[in-house]
């Protein structure tokens, strides 16, 4: 057999392996513009419903930023207790408050103050997100390679999530002290679970024919993991990461409140809650910024997913 014939056979075998691995990958839903449009439409409907309730059953409307005694521009026909300005302030009053100083005599606006706090919270959440993702991936890898370890420890992994984080957070802060470390650990705790469970499924989602082909080539366990198991699990991994991203934000906010972190959204929300009666718009603004932070983190993971899986079938880059 000539050298050229051998090279052709090797090329055909490599091509066959590539096709088998490609066929083993689960399809990933295409990125559709209908989803962002539907999301924006839903937000618009919620705001419309919000102001519609106040239009029918709220307290008398005053000009934006006007104080007591200002003229009434609309008097709703009904009076529903839950729709008053204390429980449900106007959306435009919340937007107006974002452009005002966050406290009396301050040079910084409320929006700038909340954005700074959100960025601080995101850094803590990102650290917990990375550590939790690595921990979840490591646990899932160990479990898929050891049935004994899976049977022994997976029930405890699941049981760990039955403990309310609001009850566990003070214990973590007491053990690690008040500071960023405790916040990161709390965010890690909420992050590792979805990654572990999703990757348990993802690392086993390959086509068995591809595994047989790799073994016929004498691939090692490490080779099977890096060339088959891990690539096949990417869609499951990114699905879990999108869940973990929002969970990390929640964990960081709870950890900041419990750990007395002054610079993050957790403490800001607690402070504005204490003065809610005198400025409900500030707390609502903080809630909106926290929700926006979770959405932005989710979208960052989504963008990373599109870039990483752009060559797979079903992905529009």
Inter-residue contact 238 to 133 (CB < 8 Å): no
Report pLDDT for 70. 82
Inter-residue contact 111 to 99 (CB < 8 Å): yes
Report pLDDT for 317. 45
Residue spans of the domains in the chain: they are 34-62+81-88, 109-317
CB neighbourhood size of 204 (10 A): 13
End-to-end CA distance of the chain: 45
Best CA proximity match to 86, nearest among 249, 277, 311: 277
> Which residues on neighbouring strands pair with residue 61, listed in sequence order?
74
Task: Report which secondary-structure segment, H or E, holds 298.
Answer: helix 280-308
Supply the angle between the helices 34-57 and 91-98 in degrees, to the nearest 10.
110
Report pLDDT for 262. 84
Q: Summarize pLDDT for 63-104 with one digit per residue, the tens.
A: 887 766 788 889 999 999 989 989 999 999 999 999 999 888
Distance CA 55, CA 299 (A): 34
Q: Summarize pLDDT for 130-154 with one digit per residue, the tens.
A: 999 999 999 999 999 999 999 999 9
Q: Say which residues have a Cβ less than 8 Å from residue 298's Cβ, sequence separation at least 6.
A: 242, 245, 246
Report pLDDT for 38. 86
* CATH number at 109-317: 1.10.3720.10
Distance CA 128, CA 204 (A): 26
Q: What is the pTM of this model?
A: 0.84
Residues 212-238: what's their mean pLDDT?
A: 89
* SS3 call for 28: coil
Distance CA 164, CA 119 (A): 26
């Amino acid at each position: 057999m000539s050298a050229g014939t051998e090279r052709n056979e090797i090329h055909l075998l490599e091509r066959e392996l590539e096709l088998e691995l490609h066929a083993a990958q689960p399809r990933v839903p295409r990125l559709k513009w209908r989803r962002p449009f539907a999301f924006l439409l839903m937000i618009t409907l919620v705001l419309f419903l919000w102001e519609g309730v106040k239009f029918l059953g709220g307290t008398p409307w005053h000009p934006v930023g006007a104080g007591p005694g200002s003229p009434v521009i609309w008097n709703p026909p009904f009076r529903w207790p839950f729709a008053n300005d204390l429980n449900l302030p106007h959306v435009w009053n919340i937007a107006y408050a974002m452009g005002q100083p966050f406290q009396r005599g301050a040079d910084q606006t409320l929006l700038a103050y909340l954005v700074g706090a959100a960025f601080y919270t995101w850094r803590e959440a990102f650290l917990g997100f990375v550590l939790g993702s690595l921990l979840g991936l490591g646990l899932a890898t160990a479990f898929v390679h050891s049935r004994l370890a899976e049977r022994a420890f997976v029930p405890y992994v699941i049981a760990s999530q039955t403990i309310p984080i609001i009850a566990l957070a003070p214990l973590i802060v007491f053990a690690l002290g008040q500071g960023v470390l405790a916040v990161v650990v709390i965010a890690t705790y909420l992050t590792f679970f979805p990654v572990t469970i999703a990757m348990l499924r993802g690392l086993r989602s390959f086509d068995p024919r591809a595994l047989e082909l790799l073994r016929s080539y004498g691939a090692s366990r490490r080779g099977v993991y890096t060339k088959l198991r891990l690539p096949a699990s990417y869609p499951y991994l990114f699905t879990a990461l999108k869940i973990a991203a929002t969970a990390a934000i929640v964990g960081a906010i709870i950890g900041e409140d419990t750990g007395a972190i002054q610079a993050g959204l957790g403490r800001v929300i607690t402070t504005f809650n204490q003065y809610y009666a005198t400025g409900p718009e500030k707390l609502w603004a903080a809630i909106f910024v926290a929700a926006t932070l979770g959405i932005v983190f989710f979208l960052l993971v989504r963008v990373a997913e599109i870039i990483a899986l752009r060559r797979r079938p079903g992905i529009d880059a």
